[in-house]
Amino acid sequence: MTDSPLVSAEWLMENIDAPDLRVIDASWYPSWASPSNAGRDTYARGHIPGAVYFDIDEIADTTSDLPHMMPDSVKFSSRIRKLGVGDGNRIVVYDANDFFASARVWWMFRHMGHKDVYVLDGGLRAWQGAGGELEDLPPVVTGGRHFTPRVRSDLIKTMEQMQTLAATSAAPILDARPSGRFNGVEAEPRAGLSSGHIPGSVNIPSSALIGSDGKLVDKAHLEVLLGKCRSSPAVATCGSGVSAAVIALALAELGNYDVAVYDGSWTEWASHADNPVQKADA
């Protein structure tokens, strides 16, 4: 494959019939911005031939009050097997919404110890732009392949761990939300949450990492934005753990595959009154 976490539409076209390759559609839209099931509806209207649909709101810890939290390894493995994905598969994830939530699903597989997973650079738009066809019928999934989780606990952070990081500055905290929300001058889209950021964190809006063509910006641009973290531990956060994974993906493109994601992100942090909140005028 490649040292990059990305593959091109052209590469996918050349390799899509490989027997060990599995393609996953992870299209997802925030509930506060789009109708319910918008991602699944996008998949149903047309997807890359053979792709199965990964719903981050269903393959999640649905007992949590927080949105799309990482499920335990038992549930993840069970759901993945039902999608026909298992050990020995090369996985390519894509979406129709500028890495929402293909980067998240890529990170989920890596957290579960599966290294042979990649993201289609530019997503569905790149596939169609390269002449790729779509189908609107779900594929016939052949199960039976076992998925063995090898959980990397270092790739996920809890609120308690983030409290320690905020107090000690032991590793950079990179926040992917828009600058207005990060600085506390624009409202959060989730009702009841104050805006602002975890003390000591740095704002790297995920939109700055994505070009107008829906692809990750080039390495030179990534180096300017993220170069200080290319070879050191870092933690990415956002509103609910989705766009944070775009930062993790971008740093992997620079060679750092060990970036953790704060799964609860701002939704969890700001829901606890005891957690300190910093704003631009602090």
pLDDT in tens, 107-130: 999 999 999 999 999 999 999 999
Answer with the one of 151, 185, 204 that is the final residue of a domain: 151
Q: Is 259 exposed, middle or buried (0-12, 13-18, 19+ CB in 10 A)?
A: buried
Query: Does the annotation count 229 as an active-site position?
Result: no
User: 158 and 113, same structural domain?
Assistant: no
Answer yes or no: is pLDDT of 80 > 80: yes
**Residue 274 domain-assigned?**
no
**Residue 90 domain-assigned?**
yes
User: 199 and 252, same structural domain?
Assistant: yes
Answer with the one of 91, 117, 151 that is the final residue of a domain: 151
CA 52 to chain centre: 17
Domain range for 262 is 154-269
Region at 191 (left for phi over 0; alpha for psi -120 to 50; beta for the rest): beta
Instruction: Calculate mean pLDDT across residues 4-30.
Output: 97
User: 223 and 143, same structural domain?
Assistant: no
Answer with the one of 122, 151, 180 that is the final residue of a domain: 151
- Amino acid 115 reads K
CATH number, residue 247: 3.40.250.10
From the list 156, 198, 235, 238, the catalytic residue is 238
Model pTM above 0.85: yes
Locate the DSSP E strands across the chain: 6-7, 21-25, 52-53, 90-94, 117-120, 156-157, 173-175, 202-203, 235-237, 260-262
Distance CA 145, CA 107 (A): 21
**Residue 278 domain-assigned?**
no
User: 118 and 228, same structural domain?
Assistant: no
User: 173 and 115, same structural domain?
Assistant: no
Q: Tell me: the pLDDT tens digits for 39-55? A: 999 999 999 999 999 99
User: 57 and 191, same structural domain?
Assistant: no
User: 176 and 96, same structural domain?
Assistant: no
| Alpha-carbon torsion (38, 41, 47, 52), positive or negative | positive
